[in-house]
Amino acid sequence: MRYSIFSLARNALTNHENWQEAWKSPEPKPSYDVIIIGGGGHGLATAYYLAKNHNITNVALLEKGWIGGGNTGRNTTIIRSNYLLEPNAHLYEHSMKLWEGLSQDLNFNLMFSQRGVLNLAHSDAQIDALHRRGNAMRLNGIDAEILNLQRIKEMVPLLDTSAQTRFPIMGGLLQPRGGTARHDSVAWGYARAADARGVDIIENCEVTGFKREGGKVVGVETTRGAIDAQKIGVAVAGNTTRVMDMLDMRMPMESHVLQAMVTEPVKPMLDTVVTSGAAHLYISQSDKGELVFGGDLDGYNSYAQRGNFPVLEHIIQAVITLFPAVSRLRLMRTWGGLMDMSMDGSPIICKTDIQGLYLNAGWCYGGFKATPASGYCFAHTIANDAPHEYNAAFTLDRFHQGWLIDEKGVGASPMSH
Amino acid sequence: MLLINCPHCGDRAQTEFTYRGDATVQRPDPATASQAQWLDYIYFRDNPCGPHIEWWQHSAGCRQWIKVKRNVQTHEMLGSADATGEIADEIEEAPA
């Protein structure tokens, strides 16, 4: 059933008691053409584009918990493509273009809002860096504007732009097409659209091992029985090492915890996304009115999905420095998510040395905005046994070859990306 | 707040420490190491979901580098030692 004003009216007449389930929950079949492990946004998008772009519909998506219960529902919902390096610029800009038509494509309101993403500069060096990045973006066909302090004051009136603040603001880089989307909707929208095209979405189904024949993978063992497949895609960022350990494949990865939080809801006070690298902060206001913000990693290896207070305190100090009016708001929730921190800060979307096995991993804390392009490129790679031009650089082999994609230039230090 | 046991100073708050990473990684001998050994040393990690031996520096305390054994799934502290020492198995390892 298509969602529309008419379906809404029709269901209102029956007290909304007769809505169809958004996706079926079938028992797993004994075999599939393709199995995708991981029911986050990336896995769901992969399953959807396998069906839509490549007509591969005999697909199972296996999720150990429930759809949208992992990092898809734990991020700060920011979408942008303001990258310096070419492989990143092309991948994330492809994602941005998919976002721009995605609510219509999925027939699901993703509450996609291109409210702009503003990076603040607090030093001459940062102004130079933002100019460089802005110029690189424009050369790659991505929108970018340098703002002076006056324009920032007009755009974000509650920002402390005085000279007395801890980190005086000198200017900024705006990507007007950047913004936010409702993250849960992204998971639900892709799940429903994939299901409608024939994909089996199987929750509470944890992969516990792989079936191998010779140099190939031919299926998985799960908590709901063995399932065979010709091709298997792994999209479990945060737990990549745990899954790949079952195949004795070492990963250039560490798992870290990243925290985020929301305040109580208030009336509209911030209609854009503001980030500050110097203050370690990104902040926006949700449609419910909560201020949503986060900062850096806790900084130590962790699979705990929860962090500690020192980092929360640091982030809150940054919020109050930049937006003094926020100091009286109460915090409603804080949470943590698992980050697949790759050794160069960039993702991996590629075939592996094991025949039939494909890997999508290493998203660090930039995975949400990449969801559409990640699924699009991963589906292409699985269907054609060859990468799409936008993920050709994101191989596992790049660590062997020295073709790293290190956006920040910090080297092999996963906690610093 | 993590409470980290510095072998020199006792239990101290995590804010006194700086994290470095996996302490089981061994730098290969430059005279004999192959490219594959360097690759593994620089880029590849065990990244276990359970007990993890890691480097911390007591940077706002005695400034010594220490080894800490910590369960990264629960954040439970399982022991610590001087940088060149071995961590005693006094605490039962929590199941991974």
A10-27 pLDDT, tens digit each: 999 999 999 999 999 999
Whether residue B44 lies within 8 A of chain A, CB to CB, comes out as: yes
A367-384 and A41-54 helices, crossing angle to 10°: 40
Residue B93 resides in a domain: no
Question: Residue B95 has what pLDDT?
Answer: 55
The answer to whether residues A286 and A335 belong to one domain is yes
Flag whether pLDDT at A166 surpasses 70.
yes
User: From A301, which residue of chain B is nearest by alpha-carbon distance?
Assistant: B72
CATH number of B15's domain: 3.30.2270.10
Find, among A129, A142, A138, the residue nearest to A172 by Cα.
Answer: A129
Domain count, chain B: 1
Q: What percentage of chain A has pLDDT greater than the value 90?
A: 97
Cβ–Cβ of A301/B22 closer than 8 Å?
Answer: yes
Residue A361 resides in a domain: yes
Flag whether pLDDT at B92 surpasses 80.
no
Residue B50 resides in a domain: yes
Q: CA end-to-end span of chain A, whole Å?
A: 43
Chain A residue numbers with beta carbons less than 8 Å from the beta carbon of B95 are none
Distance of CA A2 to the CA centre of its chain: 26
Chain B residue numbers with beta carbons less than 8 Å from the beta carbon of A254 are 21-22, 45, 47
Cβ–Cβ of B45/A304 closer than 8 Å?
Answer: no
Nearest to A253 among B45, B54, B72 (CB): B45
Domain count, chain A: 2
Question: Residue B53 has what pLDDT?
Answer: 97
Find, among A335, A394, A401, A368, the residue nearest to A90 by Cα.
Answer: A394
Find, among A68, A51, A8, A403, the residue nearest to A193 by Cα.
Answer: A51
User: From B43, which residue of chain A is nearest by alpha-carbon distance?
Assistant: A252
**A350: exposed, middle or buried (C-beta count within 10 Å: 0-12, 13-18, 19+)?**
buried
**Residue B89: band (very low, low, confident or very high) from pLDDT cuts 50, 70, 90:** confident
Range of the domain at A313: 117-178+255-342
Find out whether A312 and A259 touch, Cβ atoms under 8 Å: yes
Count of A-B CB contacts under 8 Å = 67
The answer to whether residues A195 and A205 belong to one domain is yes
The answer to whether residues A170 and A202 belong to one domain is no
Q: How far is B92 from chain A (nearest CA, A)?
A: 19
The answer to whether residues A97 and A199 belong to one domain is yes
Residue B94 resides in a domain: no
Query: Cα–Cα distance between A39 and A394 in angstroms, integer?
Result: 21
- Average pLDDT value for residue range A284-291: 97
Residue A401 resides in a domain: yes
Nearest to B15 among A250, A303, A310 (CB): A310
Question: Residue A227 has what pLDDT?
Answer: 98
A174-212 tens-digit pLDDT: 999 999 999 999 999 999 999 999 999 999 999 999 999
How many other CB atoms are found less than 10 A from the CB of residue B36? 10
Cβ–Cβ of A241/B40 closer than 8 Å?
Answer: no
A311-336 tens-digit pLDDT: 999 999 999 999 999 999 999 999 99
A393-417 tens-digit pLDDT: 999 999 999 999 999 999 999 998 8
How many other CB atoms are found less than 10 A from the CB of residue A19? 12
Question: Residue A164 has what pLDDT?
Answer: 93
Flag whether pLDDT at A95 surpasses 90.
yes
Q: What does the DSSP 8-state code read for residue A113? A: B
User: From A342, which residue of chain B is nearest by alpha-carbon distance?
Assistant: B43
b (16+ CB within 10 A) / e for A260-299: bbbbeebeeebebbbbbbebbbbbbbbeeebbbbbbbbbb
Flag whether pLDDT at B96 surpasses 60.
no
- How far from A15 is each of A4, A9, A10, CA to CA, in Å? 16, 10, 9
Flag whether pLDDT at A251 surpasses 60.
yes
- Average pLDDT value for residue range A218-243: 98
User: From B69, which residue of chain A is nearest by alpha-carbon distance?
Assistant: A301
Whether residue B42 lies within 8 A of chain A, CB to CB, comes out as: yes
* Residues in CB range of B58: below 8 A, 6 or more apart: B6, B8, B9, B12, B16, B17, B64, B65, B66
The answer to whether residues A193 and A227 belong to one domain is yes
Residue A207 resides in a domain: yes
Q: CA end-to-end span of chain B, whole Å?
A: 22
Residue B92 resides in a domain: no
**Residue A276: band (very low, low, confident or very high) from pLDDT cuts 50, 70, 90:** very high
Flag whether pLDDT at B91 surpasses 60.
no
Residue A319 resides in a domain: yes
Note whether ipTM > 0.85 here: yes
Whether residue A304 lies within 8 A of chain B, CB to CB, comes out as: yes
- How far from A356 is each of A49, A200, A234, A352, A400, CA to CA, in Å? 18, 20, 11, 8, 21
Residue B24 resides in a domain: yes
Cβ–Cβ of B47/A299 closer than 8 Å?
Answer: no
What mean pLDDT value characterizes chain A? 97
- Average pLDDT value for residue range A64-84: 96
Whether residue B3 lies within 8 A of chain A, CB to CB, comes out as: no
Nearest to A255 among B39, B47, B54 (CB): B47
Find, among A283, A302, A390, the residue nearest to A347 by Cα.
Answer: A390
Residue A7 resides in a domain: no
A2-14 tens-digit pLDDT: 999 999 999 999 9
Whether residue A312 lies within 8 A of chain B, CB to CB, comes out as: no
Nearest to A309 among B1, B43, B72 (CB): B1
CATH number of A128's domain: 3.30.9.10
Residue B88 resides in a domain: no
Question: Residue B93 has what pLDDT?
Answer: 53
- Average pLDDT value for residue range A105-117: 98
Q: What percentage of chain A has pLDDT greater than the value 70?
A: 100
Range of the domain at B44: 3-82
Whether residue A66 lies within 8 A of chain B, CB to CB, comes out as: no
The answer to whether residues A189 and A337 belong to one domain is no
B3-52 tens-digit pLDDT: 999 999 999 999 999 999 999 999 999 999 999 999 999 999 999 999 99
Residue B30 resides in a domain: yes
Nearest to B43 among A242, A309, A412 (CB): A412
The answer to whether residues A299 and A309 belong to one domain is yes
Find out whether A108 and A185 touch, Cβ atoms under 8 Å: yes
Question: Residue A1 has what pLDDT?
Answer: 81
Question: Residue B52 has what pLDDT?
Answer: 97
The answer to whether residues A349 and A412 belong to one domain is yes
Question: Residue A123 has what pLDDT?
Answer: 97
The answer to whether residues A166 and A260 belong to one domain is yes
Whether residue A406 lies within 8 A of chain B, CB to CB, comes out as: no
CATH number of A404's domain: 3.50.50.60
Residue A157 resides in a domain: yes
**B27: exposed, middle or buried (C-beta count within 10 Å: 0-12, 13-18, 19+)?**
exposed
Residue B95 resides in a domain: no
The answer to whether residues A213 and A283 belong to one domain is no
Nearest to A254 among B1, B47, B75 (CB): B47
User: From B16, which residue of chain A is nearest by alpha-carbon distance?
Assistant: A310
The answer to whether residues A268 and A338 belong to one domain is yes
Flag whether pLDDT at A268 surpasses 80.
yes
Find out whether B91 and B51 touch, Cβ atoms under 8 Å: no
The answer to whether residues A290 and A170 belong to one domain is yes
Find out whether A350 and A395 touch, Cβ atoms under 8 Å: yes
Question: Residue A389 has what pLDDT?
Answer: 98
